[in-house]
Amino acid sequence: MSAKGLIQALAGLAALLVLWAAFALFRGSMGDAAARLTLPHLTAADVDRVLVARGSEVVTLIRGAAGWQVNGHQADGAQIEQLFRALADTGASSELLARRATSHARLGVDSAGRRVVFAKGVDSLLSLVVGEQGRAFQTAYLRLADDDDVFLYRGALPGLLSRDEDAWRDRRIARIPPDSVNAVIVTREGRDAALERTDGGWTVAGQPADTAVVGRVLRALSDLAAIGFATPAQRDSLDFARPWRRLTVLGRGGDTLLALHMDSTAAGYWVRRAGPGDVFRVDFWRLDQLMPIPDALRAGSP
């Protein structure tokens, strides 16, 4: 072969190598894109409704003028923020596991899975099916509702979407700054005791109050949260018309900051703000901290 022919052959080979490398790079990038699940970056402002349904269990999060609600109850704003942080989490990852609908039942992303819709108005912004949990922590199988591809997703999102109604609800009963409290009236076993703030300190029935006990009461009022909620059947069994205990908190201007009625059953201890409303389940130790026996309020009491 002449030198000229050799040069032409080498040039042709080089061109083929460049084309092959470009094709391999393109095919690899396409394969990587197909192997990852890319979710839209949605914020709480982009969405006014999140629906999670599995069988007869339906959780509906709705954004309104007063904030988010879950199935008609006030939702915990921190939980909502956590949900949208998980949706936008750039550290989450996914791996394509299956491409056929025949794999859906095995991975729990068929009709047995949780169907999730993020929407605004009449527009559906994202629809998912969340299936079984994976073997590792914070992993689950999921797919886009209109796609057969199933992914193993690594991140907090699937776990958040598996929460029931109570897990989304706002458990806050009261958050009253101690400096805003002027009086606390406790009723136990038919006996009333009134803690009152005076220029000389806290008193009960005109006598100095135990400062440590008063401090525990005020701390409990500053962050009073439930551990759960009463079911409809439990609410029907409670008697708040003749409460087991009562608590009234008055502000510096004599206004009522909080009025609680309480009842107890074999299933636990329950409180409700005066009038109709949510019924909260509370820890017994927190209840005793909040409502000590009248004799324990006085300084020097045993």
**What is the model's pTM?**
0.78
Q: What are the residues whose beta carbons fall under 8 Å from the beta carbon of 212, sequence distance 6 or more?
A: none
Please give the pLDDT value at position 240: 86
Residue 134: predicted pLDDT = 87
Output the average pLDDT for the chain: 87
Residue 181 has pLDDT above 90, yes or no: yes
Whole-angstrom distance, CA of residue 91 vs CA of residue 241 = 52
Kindly tell me if the per-residue pLDDT of 28 is higher than 50: no
Please tell me the least confidently modeled range out of 5-19, 81-95, 123-137, 201-215: 5-19
Residues in the chain: 302
Distance CA 83, CA 72 (A): 19
- Determine which of 13-22, 72-81, 88-97 has the lowest per-residue pLDDT on average: 13-22
- For the record, the structure tokens of 123 come out as 């527009």
- Give the span between the Cα atoms of 134 and 97, in whole angstroms: 12
- Percent residues over pLDDT 70 in the chain: 88
In this prediction, residue 274 carries a pLDDT of 84
- For residue 102, the 8-state DSSP code is G
Per-residue confidence (pLDDT) for residue 277, from 0 to 100 = 82
Q: What is the mean pLDDT of residues 177-187?
A: 95
By C-alpha distance, which of 123, 167, 162 is closest to 142?
162
Q: What is the pLDDT of residues 145-172, one digit of tens each?
A: 999 999 999 999 999 999 999 999 999 9
Same fold, 44-168 and 172-297: yes
Strand partners, 212: none
pLDDT, position 239: 86
Indicate the domain borders of the chain: 44-168, 172-297
Beta bridge partners of 60: 51
Q: Could you tell me how far CA 12 lies from the centroid of its own chain?
A: 63
DSSP per residue over 1-69, as a string?
--HHHHHHHHHHHHHHHHHHHHHHHHHHHHHHHHTS-------GGG-SEEEEEETTEEEEEEEETTEEE
| Fold (CATH) for 172-297 | Immunoglobulin-like (2.60.40)
Question: Could you identify the residue written with the tokens 């939980």?
Answer: 79
What burial class does residue 135 get, using C-beta atoms within 10 Å of its C-beta: 0-12 exposed, 13-18 middle, 19+ buried?
Answer: exposed
Q: Does pLDDT of 6 surpass 80? A: no
Task: Read off the pLDDT of each residue in 17-29 and give the average, rounded to a whole number.
Answer: 44
Residue 41 pLDDT exceeds 80 = yes
Query: Average pLDDT in the 176-185 region?
Result: 96
Strand partners, 272: 261, 279
Tens of pLDDT, residues 262-288: 998 888 899 999 877 889 999 988 888
Q: How confident is the model at residue 33 (pLDDT cuts 50, 70, 90)?
A: very low
List C-alpha distances in Å: 178 to 66, 185, 216, 223, 253: 26, 15, 11, 10, 14
Give the pLDDT confidence score for residue 244 in this predicted structure: 87
Q: How far is residue 165's CA from residue 188's CA, in Å, rounded to a whole number?
A: 33
DSSP one-letter code for 293 = -
Q: Is the model's pLDDT at 11 over the cut of 60?
A: no
Residue 180 vs residues 1, 107, 143, 227, 249: alpha-carbon distances, Å: 100, 55, 51, 25, 10
Confidence at 301, pLDDT banded by 50, 70, 90: low
The CATH number of 44-168 is 2.60.40
* CA atoms of 117 and 130, how far apart (whole Å): 11
Residue 295 has pLDDT above 90, yes or no: no
* Percent of the chain predicted with pLDDT > 90: 67
**The pLDDT of residue 228 is above 50:** yes
Task: Compute the average pLDDT of residues 242-264.
Answer: 93
